[in-house]
Structure 1
Amino acid sequence: MYQHLLVPIDAGDLAIDLVGYAIALARPMGARLSIVHVLDEAQAEPTAAARAEALLAMADAAARAAGVPCRGECIAGEQADALIVESAQRLGCDLIVIASHGGRARPGAALGAVTAEVLRHAGVPVLVAAGARLQARERAIEVIREEHRGLAAVLQAWRERLRQALAGGLAPSAAAMRAALDYLRAFDGDLHHGKESEQLFRLLRQRTSTLNAELDELDHRHRRDQQLLQQVGRQLERLERLGPAQRPDGLRALLRGLEQYIDYVWDHLGREEGVVLPQAQRHLLAEDWRELEASFAAAGGDAAASAQAVLAGLQA
């Protein structure tokens, strides 16, 4: 029986799938997880670091929601396989759970080079999660994940611009920040969370009662999201009224409120992607997926376009 699992992830869109698989494996064994986000040194730049931070936060939230102890860290270097093996030794892990490929590998394809090298040099057992197990099989789930990634990108961009402003750079325009706030409010409403509560959660409640407590908590968190956004909105309004001498204090207050909201969002998305979506794949029927696909895919383009427009404004 294994007690400490190492789960190496990268920036691929299947990272949370791998974490969900590792959580399901660790929970009945009473094992804990160490999740390492592996960055190539060439990718160790602010945007990649922010993406790594978001993925680790969501992975941690998914593990905690399932009652699995978890820690995460980001590591960077030239050889990903050597970093993974070294991490397993340093952390005292007795099993490595790794994907056969990053990105969208086809089931049955040969092992990726990194995975093959980890198998060769690990010194501890390695469990390769096959691409067929990890691959998202429903368009509805992919649209949900695309919307989550758009949300994460907007939050990261806004936070980074505020940090740059406090370090002496230019703050994003008032119009760009107002557009970002409007996007977040829409996301909390009909653009995303409303659809989840009214459709995905409703169908899950019809098919199984095992997730009722988790779904109740997520519905509650949808409402709490709105309260935190109201606070961010008030801080933005205050910033807009301040003169030049008081603007740094206003920027710091807005950044604190936004970071509190971001922490809450990472936990929320971690629960959805690490707990709810895997259970949806297990319990929902074909007709449920057709209904969800029609609903989410119909608005998916609007959500993506909205996120891209907000990002362009924040990065201008």
Structure 2
Amino acid sequence: MFQHLLTVLDHRPNAFRTTVMSMRLGQRFGARVTLVYVVHRGERDDAGASRDAVGRGDALFARARRVARRLGVACACRFAFGDGTDGMVAEMVTRLACDLVIVPRADDAGPLADVRRRRSPADVLVCP
């Protein structure tokens, strides 16, 4: 059904829950999973905040890799820097040939809102 899942994450607390759901779906479908941790402009412009954001992303990726190994799921981890999340995601979906985008539930004004509004060339699943 799905062969390559793209999971878009940021600093929100439910990011790891979304990661685990992606891994379980990847296991179920026999799909590869690519995790993308978004570092937003405010975090990117301040060197200290950027380091902290990358550190949070690295920690999330380390946990995700352990889950992926345990479930036998092929997993790649990447960072994305910027505010045009919907454009970045659309470009990654196309370049990586992803057929499902998974995002955490968040407020409608959040940085992942455009992805959740289906501004992506692939199907979008919003985790509860």
Q: TM-score, normalised by structure 1?
A: 0.37
Q: Is the contact made by 2:27 and 2:72 (CA closer than 8 Å) also made in structure 1?
A: yes
Q: 1:90 & 1:60 partners in 2: Cα distance?
A: 22
Deviation at 1:129, TM superposition (A): 1.1
Q: 2:118 & 2:127 partners in 1: Cα distance?
A: 16
Give the alignment partner of residue 46 of structure 1, picking from 47, 51, 55.
Answer: 51
Deviation at 1:120, TM superposition (A): 3.3
Q: Is the contact made by 1:39 and 1:80 (CA closer than 8 Å) also made in structure 2?
A: no
Give the alignment partner of residue 93 of structure 1, picking from 95, 98, 108.
Answer: 98
- What's the RMSD between the two structures over aligned residues? 1.7
Greater percentage in strand: 2
Partner of 1:4: 4
**Cα-to-partner distance string for 1:21-43 (whole Å, 9 max, x where unaligned):** 11111212101100000011321
Q: Does 1:23 align with 2:28?
A: no
Structure scoring higher RCO (CA < 8 A, sep ≥ 6) equals 2
Percent identity between matched residues is 31
Q: Is the contact made by 1:4 and 1:95 (CA closer than 8 Å) also made in structure 2?
A: yes
Q: Is the contact made by 2:18 and 2:103 (CA closer than 8 Å) also made in structure 1?
A: yes
Q: Is the contact made by 1:100 and 1:129 (CA closer than 8 Å) also made in structure 2?
A: yes
Q: 2:109 & 2:89 partners in 1: Cα distance?
A: 14
Q: 1:46 & 1:19 partners in 2: Cα distance?
A: 21
Q: Is the contact made by 2:83 and 2:111 (CA closer than 8 Å) also made in structure 1?
A: no
Partner of 1:129: 127
Residues 1:50 and 1:116: Cα distance change in structure 2 (over 3 Å): closer
Structure 2 runs not aligned, ≥5 long: 45-49
Q: 1:116 & 1:15 partners in 2: Cα distance?
A: 15
Partner of 2:114: 117
Q: 1:112 & 1:2 partners in 2: Cα distance?
A: 29
**Cα-to-partner distance string for 1:1-49 (whole Å, 9 max, x where unaligned):** 0000000111222111001111111212101100000011321321221
Greater percentage in helix: 1
Greater Cα radius of gyration, structure 1 or 2: 1
Q: 2:110 & 2:54 partners in 1: Cα distance?
A: 23
Deviation at 1:81, TM superposition (A): 2.3
Deviation at 1:114, TM superposition (A): 4.1
Q: TM-score, normalised by structure 2?
A: 0.85
Which AA in structure 2 matches 1:21? M
Partner of 1:14: 14
- Tell me how many residue pairs correspond in the alignment: 122
Give the alignment partner of residue 59 of structure 1, picking from 57, 64, 83.
Answer: 64
The SS at the match of 2:33 is strand
Residues 1:113 and 1:51: Cα distance change in structure 2 (over 3 Å): closer
Q: Is the contact made by 1:100 and 1:112 (CA closer than 8 Å) also made in structure 2?
A: no
Structure 1 runs not aligned, ≥5 long: 106-110, 131-316
Q: Is the contact made by 2:85 and 2:114 (CA closer than 8 Å) also made in structure 1?
A: no
Which AA in structure 1 matches 2:122? V
Q: What pairs with 1:130-169 in structure 2 (closer than 5 Å)?
A: 130=128
Residues 1:40 and 1:32: Cα distance change in structure 2 (over 3 Å): same
Q: 1:33 & 1:120 partners in 2: Cα distance?
A: 19
Partner of 1:78: 83
Q: Is the contact made by 2:85 and 2:112 (CA closer than 8 Å) also made in structure 1?
A: no
Q: What pairs with 1:1-316 in structure 2 (closer than 5 Å)?
A: 1-44=1-44, 45-101=50-106, 111-118=108-115, 119-130=117-128
